[in-house]
Chains A and B, each alone.
Chain A
Amino acid sequence: MRAYFGRRYMLSASHRLHSESLSAEENRAAYGKCNNPHGHGHNYVIEVMVRGPVDTQTGMVMNLTDLDAVVRTKVLERFDHTNLNLDPAFVNQVPTTENLCKAVFALLKSAMPPGRLETVRVEETENNFFQCWDAETDWIDC
């Protein structure tokens, strides 16, 4: 039987939303306070949901410790307490939370067996969040 298992992690990082292809005025118009030159930070919540059959021996979709290890090595150690703008993932793209969500999804997907990763949700604050999944999967909510 297929079930889903989810886990929430936290990382703290700084970023500045600024696009080199926009003028200073356009950047301010697009990003507002998030364009302030010296950046700012968030406590991001990274919610990872995996899917798969429930193993009859363990009762688990995936062992929590294995998921923790993948997320820690691929995501938390890379981004926690860093400036996202300086990460190679954001050399050519603005570190919006949309793009952070996509980057986290890609990093985790490449470290897991095919079809295992269901969704990645990144909460930038309590009031906004972003979610990524594979378009080719049968994820059909909304």
Chain B
Amino acid sequence: MVELTRRATFSASHFYWNEGWTAEENERVFGRCANRNGHGHNYTLEVTVAGDPDQVTGFVVDLKWLKDVMEERVLSAFDHRHLNLEVPEFKSAIPTTENIAIAAWKRLEPVLGSTGRAHLKRVRVYETPEIFAEFRGEA
């Protein structure tokens, strides 16, 4: 079993706000991230698939194909967007790094889960070089 990871970047804006809370609660829990005017990040998306390399090609998956899947499924929806306002998953969930990782997994899994040889192992999203979240498909 070999793991293969592909990295891509996207830039997006967001803010953290729970509609069920008062403004004071939102500011206490989310701090500067609760600014309703939003702010932005350069995110890094890391997608890891695991499998045995193909006998003929030596690939776990074709990297170009993986790049295209990431572009089509995630980057085209997230890059240069306001996550709260333009990405459907975040109508009902706060676009924290954790929830972005989960949303990216759910967008990728239907395609990457069907390659036969390889399966989606984890999705890691860096909000900054120092802050990241990871989802491994666990309940």
Give chain A interface residues in 77-96, CB to chain B under 8 Å: none
A60 touches B98 (CB 8 A): yes
Which residues on the B side are within 8 Å of A135 (C-beta)? none
B31 touches A6 (CB 8 A): no
A57 touches B135 (CB 8 A): no
Of B36-44, B58-66, B126-134, the segment with at least 4 beta carbons within 8 Å of chain A is B126-134
What is the CA–CA distance of A105 and B138 in the complex, to the nearest angstrom?
24
Please, how many residues of chain B have a CB less than 8 angstroms from a CB on the other chain?
27
Asked if B16 is at the interface of the complex by the 8 Å CB criterion, the answer is yes
Asked if A63 is at the interface of the complex by the 8 Å CB criterion, the answer is yes
Asked if B29 is at the interface of the complex by the 8 Å CB criterion, the answer is yes
Query: 1/0 contact trace for B18-35 toward A, CB 8 Å?
Result: 101100000001110000
Besides A7-B131, A7-B132, 18 other A-B contacts (C-beta < 8 A): A1-B102, A1-B139, A3-B98, A3-B135, A3-B138, A4-B135, A5-B132, A6-B133, A9-B130, A54-B96, A54-B99, A57-B20, A57-B21, A58-B18, A58-B29, A58-B96, A61-B98, A64-B131
Task: Give chain B nearest CB distance to A87 CB in angstroms.
Answer: 25
What is the CA–CA distance of A141 and B30 in the complex, to the nearest angstrom?
32
What is the CA–CA distance of A49 and B133 in the complex, to the nearest angstrom?
9
Asked if B91 is at the interface of the complex by the 8 Å CB criterion, the answer is no
Task: Give chain B nearest CB distance to A23 CB in angstroms.
Answer: 43
Give chain A interface residues in 42-69, CB to chain B under 8 Å: 49, 54, 57-61, 63-65
Contact of A6 among B95, B134, B138 (CB under 8 A): B134
What is the CA–CA distance of A8 and B16 in the complex, to the nearest angstrom?
22
| Cβ contacts A to B, 14 pairs, < 8 Å | A1-B102, A3-B135, A4-B133, A4-B135, A5-B97, A5-B132, A5-B133, A6-B134, A7-B132, A57-B20, A59-B96, A60-B98, A63-B29, A65-B31
